[in-house]
Chain A
Amino acid sequence: MSMTLEEVTTLFQEYCEKHRKLFLPGPNDGPVVKSLVDFYSKHYSIEILCESIEYYIKQSKEPVQIYNFAVESSQIRDHVVAEKRRREDFDKLLHQTQERMNQINRKD
């Protein structure tokens, strides 16, 4: 998955709309978004960036600024990554359980 800088900026606005938060554009939004996209593309993924943005906006009790997100993003990212792993673990366990139940049912 890849996104342009404009698309990421628009994503902030869309999530703010979705979660009824005020979006405050900042003078350095362009360079900050570029830095975020470069960093996440290199070390994580754009999906993680998008999920982090939504989580940040959803939790935010103040008007949303891209710069503030960038400052807090490492903590948010850890949370998002951990939650993603939990979901994957649950799905894996669900699948294993289903396999075992199928085996039991076949024996019966």
Chain B
Amino acid sequence: MNYEIALLNSIISSGDVTSCIDQNIDSVFGEYEDVWKFIVSFHGEYGKAPAKDVVKNSFKNFEFFTSEAPLQYYIDEAKKHSLGRGVRSSLYKASEALKNGEDPAKIVSLMQSEAMELMRNSGRLSDTNIVDYNERVQILRDRIENPDKKTLGVPTGFKVIDAHFGGSQPGDFIVLMGWTGVGKSAIARLVAANAWRQGYVPLIISLEMDRIQEEFRMDTILNAGEHFTNTQLTNGVGIDIDDYTGWAKGMFDGKHPIHLVTSDGIESADQNFVQSKIEQYKPDLVVLDYHTLFDDARNGGTETERAKNLSKDFKRIAVRNRVPIWDVSGVTMDGGHEERPPELSEIAWSKQLAYDADMILSIHRKRDEDIFQIVTKKTRRCAPFAFYLEWNLDSGKWKELFDHEAF
């Protein structure tokens, strides 16, 4: 029997329309979508499911039967069938496109996009009932009993951010913005390195730098000035190879991964690419560097439109995958404002960003100085905060400060 008919019959006989609405079953309907919409509309108006005769009046050819199994069984079956139909359709379209000689890279991108849509529709974005508090009790108990888990999310390593914002939590979309060249990317990597030190797996998608440069940069940050500087690593001058090897052995051997994806050999890096990498590596934290270098899978017309689409989709990806995303965004200098951290309004897609971001950190550093100003321009779950970061990018040594005469 057609799974849509079976589900609709079960809904009508059980009268439980609310469970179906709660489970986002809209997408399982194709041929009988009008019957489902009728049931929802009737339920909205009269507070209960329509009786068989009411449905019969509007849909004369609809087939009725007595459903034996519980409603949830039909919902699960319908979701399974619907997902199968979607997969078949996607594969068929891809196969036809290949036959017609279309660019395979574009076809892969299209398949990724459809796969995301299918996952969303098949219930990955689920609703919850806030009244069920047991999970929250467990989370709080874990935090109280285990001092290492004091920060709810992935610790950033910055005392001020962790104490105020509670680390990077699943679904967070955190934006680092600053004038070009102030060190936003470096701070994003410091966050990733600090997370890794605490046992978490970061994923860095960098479209800005070469793979080896990136790896040396992470070495510098993790070494924190103890053995070598970034200049020594990049120039290969004044460095003891045995010392480096010994340090690297101690630091990395037998440890969990730091995933790095650079643009080497990649034709297009868009929202689907980010999603696929998250699925591939299942990271605890993602760094995207940087915003405007990503392609927009939705083909937005202007640069602002593309940036807005990316912002919206990165937030959705963070929520869907329950992973925090740190997004690096550059702000173009205008009117000599380079002496202070940028304002949110100075980003072209600021309104979208204001909707999507859970926290926006504005970063500033005076040219050739080691002092960064870090200030929130939006926080969704804490009071605004500000602090200084003293950080020598070449040695990797850093500390948080509240007083500094540089500004």
Contact = CB atoms under 8 A, between A and B. Distances in A.
Contacts of A87: 340, 407
Interface stretch (A9-17, A26-34, A91-99): A91-99
A94 B160 CA distance: 11
Interface in A80-108: 83, 86-87, 90, 93-98, 100-101, 104
B163 A93 contact: no
A46 to B, nearest CB: 21
B340 A97 contact: no
A21 interface: no
Nearest to B147: A108
Contacts of B383: 96, 100
B336 A94 contact: no
Interface size class of chain B, counting residues whose CB lies under 8 Å from the partner chain: 20 to 34
A8 B340 CA distance: 27
B199 interface: no
A98 B386 CA distance: 9
B336 A97 contact: no
Nearest to B343: A86
B346 to A, nearest CB: 12
A59 interface: yes
The winner among A59, A87, A90, A95 for most chain B CB atoms within 10 A is A90
B385 interface: yes
B3 interface: no
Interface residues of A, number: 17
Nearest to B387: A97
Contact of B159 (A79, A86, A101): A101
Given A87-B340, A90-B373, A97-B387, A104 B163 contact: yes
Contact of B163 (A58, A83, A86, A101): A101
Nearest to B339: A83
B386 A97 contact: yes
Interface in B361-407: 373, 375, 383-388, 402, 407
A93 B164 contact: no
**Chain B CB within 10 Å, residue with most, of A55, A59, A101:** A101
Contacts of A94: 386-388, 402
A86 B341 CA distance: 9
Contact of A83 (B164, B340, B385): B340
Contact of A97 (B160, B335, B341): B160
B336 A93 contact: no
Contact of A93 (B335, B340, B384): B384
Contact of A59 (B159, B160, B336): B336
A90 B386 contact: yes
Interface string B142-165: 000000000000000001100110
B373 A97 contact: no
Contacts of B335: 79
Contacts of A83: 339-340
Instruction: Give the one of B164, B341, B402 with max A CB within 10 A.
Output: B402
A87 B339 CA distance: 10
Contacts of A97: 160, 164, 385-387, 402
A52 to B, nearest CB: 13
Given A86-B340, A93-B375, 20 more contacts: A58-B336, A83-B340, A87-B340, A90-B340, A90-B373, A93-B385, A93-B386, A94-B386, A94-B387, A94-B388, A94-B402, A95-B402, A96-B383, A96-B385, A97-B164, A97-B386, A97-B402, A98-B402, A100-B385, A104-B163
Nearest 10 CB-CB pairings of A with B: A93-B386, A97-B385, A98-B402, A94-B386, A104-B163, A97-B386, A59-B336, A86-B340, A90-B386, A97-B387
12 contacts: A59-B336, A83-B339, A83-B340, A90-B341, A90-B386, A93-B385, A94-B388, A100-B383, A100-B385, A101-B159, A101-B163, A104-B163
